[in-house]
Structure 1
């Protein structure tokens, strides 16, 4: 299954609204003006999703998982690749990125503050899309691919074939930062999203 250009346009419109709410908070936290691009959205297969997670590095990057508890059901995952994670941690802790080889607990805690803002942006996007509130559980750290595969092996998540991937970039004075947000919806939730998109297209 792939999103049509019409459906991607609806995602982009919802993203523009949600991102405008998050930019101010990000700028204040980073202590400088930033520019945030509209997220790119793709529908990918489960196996491709796991491959991308591994390619971006899990143990060396920053990955957190959330269960979706309202509006939709499934799993949400936020990932900062290693270089972006280190740049973020260094900025927030006021040190030179060259001084960080690997993220420690202090660095991960600092990044989670940014992660909370981005998660708020993404849940706003989903809420706008389906016309309902979307809520997530507190984050659960994922250190290995096994942690994510374990979550995907339970209940309805075992049957999941399609994953919605958002790629988001925001720019600051000394470089760009990239994040990946993966929505792993149950089949019923995916149908709910697609039905809503189709309705928006017909009414548009």
Structure 2
């Protein structure tokens, strides 16, 4: 190494480079100032310490992405907010089923939807969509977040596994909700029976027409017979 330095000095020192004279010599290393072993080392400033600590925390907090099958179960669940105003269900209980079905159909684009829960009493208008895989839930978040649904801008995010959205009800509220459901079921049953009666009436109509046609045919046949006898 020393020989290379000496050789470089001999060859290059005093040479011309693009009209300039080159000066080459061995490098000299020396300490700035004087060293006093009795002095204490300079303390770091508070800002420097905080900056260093943040960098260390960031490095220690880093984790590699989880492989497929290693993600937590709660990551398969998507939480949607601002989907509705709870008061709309007080008069139209059937809307809960409509919201469930609409969400299910839309989220099928992302994967296998296992379950949809509408928290109809939650003031933030919350719903949860359960998927088979966490990756499907990720796609759903991208699909629904900041979209407009029924003139409302909704948000979507992966469930943290801790938050609970079921709202407690008083006895009076529970009783009122049950009454609303009873009314809905009664009206649905009435509509079903009315539909069945209409279907039966339509089904009977062709047979009556056939009977009329048969009677007319018999009458014509009888008239012809009488005509022959008279002849």
Q: Which of these two proteins has the greater Rg computed from alpha carbons? A: 2
Q: Same fold (TM over 0.5)?
A: no
The structure where strand makes up a greater share of residues is 1
TM-score if structure 1 supplies the norm length?
Answer: 0.26
TM-score if structure 2 supplies the norm length?
Answer: 0.23
* Greater relative CO, 1 or 2 (CA 8 Å, sep 6+): 1
